[in-house]
Amino acid sequence: MPATRGYSLETEVQFLRGVGPKLAQVLSKLNIHTLGDLLYHLPRRYEDRRHFRKIAHVRPGEAVTVAGKLITVDNIKVRNNMTLTKAYIDDGSGVLELVWYNQPYLRETLYYLRDRLIVAYGVIKDNPFGLQMETPEWEDLPDGADPDSLLSVNRIVPIYPLTEGIRQKRMRQILWNAVQYAHCAPELIPASIRQRLGLPPIQQALQQIHFPDELDQIEPARRRLVFEEFFLLQLGVGLQRYQNQHEHGIAMRIDTERLNAMLHRIVPFELTNAQKRVIGEIWRDMARPYPMNRLLQGDVGSGKTIVAAAAILAAVDNQYQAAIMAPTEILAEQHYITLHRLFQPLGITVELLVGRLSSRQRQQARERIATGRGMVAVGTHALIQEGVSFARLGLAIVDEQHRFGVLQRAALRDKGVMPHILVMSATPIPRTLTLTLYGELDVSVIDELPPGRKPVKTHWKLPEERIKVYEGVRKLVQQGRQAYIICPLIDESDKLQVRAAEEMAEHLQKDVFPDLRVGLLHGRMRPAEKEAVMEAFRAGEIDILVSTTVIEVGVDVPNAAVIVIEDADRFGLAQLHQLRGRVGRSIHQSYCVLIADPKSEDARRRMEIMVRTNNGFLIAEEDLRIRGPGEIFGTRQSGAPSFRVADVIKDLRLLEVAREEAFRLLEQDPDLSRPEHAALREAVNRFRHRFILATVS
């Protein structure tokens, strides 16, 4: 076991007093591996157990702390082979029965404590033979011992998250031992900031968050720990921005008059003011001598593809190539079709590179990209595979970027020499997550829909109303419109999803809409098959398209005026909003019908929110509240926030304060190179590595 003075936050938890290798394996299930992990394993709540009650004064339903002499203890066998351990304590005012279920080993432990003082905490229950306390937490009080030395009673007691194999009493003792080494935690927040914000020192914060002297000490301690996480995060963001702005990039010549003329030639409609504003921001970035790092946000149907096309035009006009990486083949194919049609009049060649192409097709596309004949490359992660090289990559665009990991985005960037980076999201991102996930990026928002669009009317119907829903679909088709019907989510496998889609399409064609043309689309189709189906749907040769969620993003058929989503309660809010975005793309009134019978409160809330609003940013905020940031973006794959203490919703104001303080510090020391900031810089780098900042750099 290491010497006490050799302890650090990186000391393996097995070497701490009271742990050992066996219990360390149990703690690893809670992601506790080091002393630092243990110190930041915070209580989920607290119980005030400071006031002893006389047994004669307790009442059923109360949670109380009592102390009395242990009179007797025994095990009793009852039905179903259950063992009750019963003990009785007497404090002079009365006798109280303590009861534990199926813990027969307690009898032997307690037997040797007869006539000793026992302190117990629990809820008082009434029974025919008197009052009892079920499964209490307890400690014995040795002769002459100070009651303040007890960890489970006579204090404000922390209640920790647990896992199988460890109980509260044991966890509390381990944390008590760990807190004795709170001095190992370095003080990272400058004294001037702590004084300005009224934050306690780190050692005091760790002690009070685990074993507070008073209830009002808990919140200041938590506030200090939350601020430190946000402060390190925002320093990392600021350092990244500083690094971005000091890297040598491609300063492109932006002839706005010429580029606007090219845009006007390929886009037959007037751009919205929001699109014009965002295009101007992107072009200004591309003219600067360091790489653009910009996040483009826009609600469904806001016209992000045209903005991306404007960025591509600027790159191609400077004799540079552009690449767009999309998360799914159907989205990549949709981008390819759109851009091919847009750029064909200008003679700009667009290449498609996806995994399901034949080896010969892939090889030919790679050769055209490598020689520079292919000026625009559109693909999935196939773009970043070995063997794909660019002649002069000047612009890399990542669409639906939250579905890609950090390394995938970096791999696309590395296909060029510091190309400009544009990341796009059709999933509106709440301001809270923008500050945490994308704080080092400049943000552009398309906050305006094309003129003439009507908000989609959303209705929530129960499964027994499905026939009426289908009647409504039929009426719209008879008026010349088209419809999507989305299959339920099936978790088990893609094959089951496909089978469900096939069965639904067959049922609808045969039994519900025998006189209409029903098509089928799912993710396991070959690219040519998918494109043939989508082309037939666009051409009006299919009235009703039965589909899985492959049409979630990127599919644009203006004549589609209704989408019916089966078992809508199985979908998340963001996904429902994306699916709804497949309609409402013309001057015709469009509808979204959610068929669902939700069993949980969260699912019911999702349905109500969808009916109430079409605003993607409001929906994203609600989604964040319901599911939390890690669930929304999938922490593992995207690098979404993984805070130990902070809550980006509850602590938003503190996040903003931390950002102000971090950027104020970086104004004085832009790269934290001053000697007094050495420990802080090291901590920021460690934090960024643990947190996996969602950055393209």
Convert the pLDDT of each residue in 184-229 to its tens digit.
Answer: 999 999 999 999 999 999 999 999 999 999 999 999 999 999 999 9
Dihedral sign for Cα atoms in the order 230, 233, 237, 243: positive
Distances (CA, A) of 143 to 115, 503, 572, 625: 11, 76, 59, 51
- Gap between the Cα atoms of 39 and 9, Å rounded: 9
Mean pLDDT score of the chain: 86
Per-residue model confidence (pLDDT) at position 146: 60
Q: Where are the beta strands (DSSP E) in 19-136?
A: 45-48, 63-78, 82-90, 95-101, 117-127, 130-134
Does CATH number 3.20.20.150 belong to domain 256-446? no
Residues with pLDDT less than 50, the chain: 1-4, 631-641, 692-697
Residue 143 is predicted with a pLDDT of 63
- pTM metric for this prediction: 0.69
Nearest to 299 by CA among 653, 675, 616: 616
Residues of the chain with CATH 3.40.50.300: 256-446, 457-613
Token look-up 């409160």 returns 601
Class of domain 457-613: alpha beta
Report pLDDT for 462: 95
Q: CA 213, 218, 220, 225 torsion: positive or negative? A: positive
With a CB cutoff of 8 Å and minimum separation 6, the contacts of 336 are 350, 352, 378
pLDDT of residue 437: 65
Residue span(s) of the chain under CATH 2.40.50.140 come to 51-154
Instruction: Name the residue with tokens 């003329």.
Output: 261
Q: What is the pLDDT of residue 620?
A: 79
DSSP state for residue 329 in the 8-state scheme: H
**Per-residue pLDDT at 200:** 97
CATH topology of domain 51-154: OB fold (Dihydrolipoamide Acetyltransferase, E2P) (2.40.50)
Contact criterion met (CB below 8 Å) for 420 and 249: yes
Beta strands in 381-461, from DSSP E residues, in sequence order: 393-399, 420-425, 442-446, 457-461
Beta strands (DSSP E) in 152-304 are: 156-159, 293-298
| pLDDT attached to residue 624 | 75
Which long-range CB contacts under 8 A does 526-535 form with residues at least 24 apart? Answer: 526/356, 527/329, 527/333, 527/354, 527/356, 527/357, 530/329, 530/330, 530/333, 531/333, 531/337, 534/334
pLDDT digits (tens, 9 = 90+) for 468-522: 999 999 999 999 999 999 988 765 556 677 788 889 999 999 999 999 999 999 8
What is the C-alpha to C-alpha distance for residues 505 and 341, in angstroms, rounded to an integer? 31
Q: What is residue 696's predicted lDDT score, i.e. its pLDDT?
A: 35
